Structure 1
């Protein structure tokens, strides 16, 4: 990779980190190519990305972003997972690290807030933005459904009473 390609990669990664909602750093030492591919596919399906680059280039890309504090965690064979949704990348990385002990979460950051491994784990336990939106819509629709049921109940009860009286008389 020549200098101009490296500069283009750093610029591209800087843009990605600037727009990312969360960044997670994990050691992948000992993972096979098939395991890495499997994790990347899961990440892509969920809307996140896992990149492995030279640590020096990643440090340069992190400069000037909210995630600049992560540069000290870039030592040894590490990969960087990121996503726009602040829950997706940590959730996939934590799920995969439970299934495969060779992937170890070092830490991460959400905006300017730096997270240790436990912070990433707790962030992964939260519901995603889509799940939260679904719950919110459900909560907003539930009262309307209950009101409609309450309004209809007296009318249906009255109809049953009149029907029973008609059958008796």
Structure 2
């Protein structure tokens, strides 16, 4: 029967595992406390957490999955990294740390339901991160889209440029086409010549009397 402290550790391991996308197993023997803290900080930035856990409690916390993994992954001094996101980034942190710290070793991993040996973890560390892959895909898709947007913007800008040209002419004092009908309407109308002769019959009668 585990003690209360061990039971809390088992529960904490189980909770961490339930939130994680996988596990990476390392041998940390020979590392100094300062070096282990440095590794924790780097791994946290990459999207994971590393914990030093006794193998017995680790097996109880994770469950039956541990029985499917090679025993060397969880035997001897073990620090397990819980990967919450960016599997490749977390693997890269551990692999790079092992290159600069001879006392540290990556033993293997369990990610997305599959077992990874040390070489597979190293290969995983060289893959682009999920964000980088998404950016590459978006870049491939966005290239033709940007050209299409450019064409649409050119078509859309054509009437706008026409409006701007008309505005420039108005600023220079040239009447716009819309202003011409108004100017035409404001001109004085020419009077018909017949309106000047109000009574042409009376005028003819006066002319006849003067000749008599």
Common fold: TM-score over 0.5: yes
Structure 1: runs of 5 or more not aligned: 153-169
Structure 1 residue 127 displacement after superposition: 1.1
Structure 1 residue 68 displacement after superposition: 4.7
* Structure 1 match to 2:48: 48
Structure 1 residue 150 displacement after superposition: 6.8
Asked if the contact 1:107/1:115 (under 8 Å) is kept, the reply is yes
* Structure 2 match to 1:137: 138
Are residues 82 and 37 of structure 1, via their aligned partners in 2, closer, same or farther at CA, if it must alter by over 3 Å?
A: same
Q: CA RMSD in A?
A: 2.4
1:12 aligns with 2:12: yes
Structure 1 residue 67 displacement after superposition: 5.1
Q: Distance in 2 between matches of 1:8 and 1:33?
A: 23
* Structure 2 match to 1:156: none
TM-superposition CA deviations, 1:67-113 (whole Å, max 9, x none): 55347221111110121222232121111111212111111111321
Are residues 71 and 14 of structure 1, via their aligned partners in 2, closer, same or farther at CA, if it must alter by over 3 Å?
A: farther
Asked if the contact 2:24/2:83 (under 8 Å) is kept, the reply is no
Q: How many residue pairs align between the two structures? A: 153
Q: Distance in 1 between matches of 2:125 and 2:68?
A: 20
The TM-score, its normalising length taken from structure 1, stands at 0.79
* Structure 2 match to 1:69: 68
TM-superposition CA deviations, 1:112-146 (whole Å, max 9, x none): 21111011111111111121222222222111123
Partner SS state of residue 87, structure 1: helix
* Structure 2 match to 1:98: 99
Partner SS state of residue 36, structure 1: helix
Q: Distance in 2 between matches of 1:68 and 1:139?
A: 43
The TM-score, its normalising length taken from structure 2, stands at 0.64
Q: Distance in 1 between matches of 2:144 and 2:66?
A: 42
Structure 2: runs of 5 or more not aligned: 155-212
Q: Distance in 2 between matches of 1:110 and 1:10?
A: 20
Partner SS state of residue 26, structure 1: strand
* Structure 1 match to 2:176: none
Q: Distance in 2 between matches of 1:111 and 1:144?
A: 34
Partner SS state of residue 60, structure 2: helix
Structure 1 residue 5 displacement after superposition: 2.2
Q: Which has the higher contact order (CA 8 A, sep 6+)?
A: 1
